[in-house]
Amino acid sequence: MIVAIPKEVELSENRVAATPATVKEFMKAGMEVNIEKDAGIASHISNIDFEESGAKIIDSSVDLYKKADVVLKVQHPTVEEISYFSSGMVFVSLFQTTRNLNEVRAMTDIHVTGFSMHLIPRTTLAQKMDALSSQANISGYKAVLVAASRLGKYMPLLMTAAGTIRPSKILVLGAGVAGLQAIATAKRLGAQVEVFDVRPIVKEQVESLGAKFVEIDSNGEGVGDGGYAKETSEEYKKKQQELIHKHIAKSDAIITTALIPGKPAPILISKNMVSDMRPGSVIIDLASENGGNCELTKKDEIIEYNSVTIDGTSNFPATMPIHASELYAKNISAFIKYMIDDGKIKIDLEDEIISGSLFTYKGEITDDTTKKAIDLNT
């Protein structure tokens, strides 16, 4: 069985789906590994590094795909890439199946077996495969560093001969993996940190990191399946907007991380709220890929409105490709090895992890959320 690792075609994507360490793991499991020439260059992994780990370097993606039984990527494949896939091939990536519908259809038409790392169930057994968490950790960390670089002031409290410098005030919206890492990083830099989340169950985690939890009495209204956030009532949203508006006006930097699985990101920061922010303030919108938590956010653009900088960078993990690739490669390697039986991939539809992450199989779309998105756009 041949595992193929192509070079990412998206210009802003610097990650790669394998490292020399995971190549060795695949080979121990009885698989051959082919890697497209220069696939790891942006992650500072040379062709020689891969060859020394036992991989074979292939000059073109077309030749790579022709020989592949399993293809591992970071981003979803393009329709052109899919045209080189073979029937029965296994494909795995961070595929956003409800957004990239043409690609889902193309893979289904030629009977590719498609898995998305976005769909890995949140269970104890699947923790090693949880690519969303490993990459969100990086996003939360890098978001605070970028915010600090854009602010025209110190983060920590400073006592100087010229007087005392007050610490910056950071507001984090959403206390998932990215939010918690943002809190921890901001606290390390000496900032005062406040946090809002619709899920009161995260209060203890937030406070354990030294941040203040800002809450609304909700009776658990915002808690969905698997601990993710879910849609809330209009009455709750009104209270939420009032509370966030109050705290935004006092903040120097805001890190937004709020997402709802399978839906556009909720708008938490209106244009009017931005107008009331301090001149020189910064918003880092980590939900920009799904529409953004700020009404003014533009994906992959950095704009200024009323002297407030709004950063819509959608792929912070790609700005830290060394560790992002290392972690993602471990996640995807753990997933592949989980399915290996006697040197071959076994598709066990009774297995929660395998069936949960599978979105197309034998010419059929198997994921309900993806199927609904396809039906709505037909």
Identify any residues that bridge with 71 across adjacent strands, giving them in sequence order: 4, 91
Instruction: Report which DSSP code applies to 288.
Output: G
Catalytic residue among 86, 133, 218, 355: 133
Answer yes or no: 127 catalytic: yes
Marked catalytic residue, from 38, 49, 86, 122: 122
**Closest to 134 in 3D by CA, of 320, 305, 352, 307:** 320
CB 273 within 8 Å of CB 196: no
Measured CA to CA, the distance from residue 327 to residue 323 in angstroms comes to: 6
Contact 153, 168 (CB under 8 A): yes
Distance of CA 44 to the CA centre of its chain: 21
Is residue 130 annotated as a catalytic residue, yes or no? yes
Q: How far apart are CA 71 and CA 102, in angstroms?
A: 19
Residue 199 annotated in active site: no
Contact 284, 143 (CB under 8 A): yes
- To 10 degrees, the CA torsion angle through 361, 365, 370, 375? 170
Q: Which two tokens stand for residue 1?
A: 């069985």
Long-range contacts of 232-238 (CB under 8 A, 24+ apart): 232/198, 236/198
User: What distance in Å separates the CA atoms of residue 331 and residue 129, rounded to the nearest whole number?
Assistant: 4
Query: Which residue is catalytic, options 84, 93, 116, 130?
Result: 130
Catalytic residue among 127, 208, 275, 307: 127
- Is-catalytic flag, 181? no
By CB neighbour count within 10 A (0-12 exposed, 13-18 middle, 19+ buried), where does 378 fall? exposed
Q: With H, G, I as helix, E, B as strand and everything else as coil, classify residue 260.
A: coil
- Asked whether the beta carbons of 40 and 13 are under 8 A apart, the reply is no
Query: Any catalytic annotation for residue 86?
Result: no
Q: Is 48 helix (H, G, I), strand (E, B) or coil?
A: helix
Query: Could you give the residue numbers annotated as active site?
Result: 122, 127, 130, 133, 228
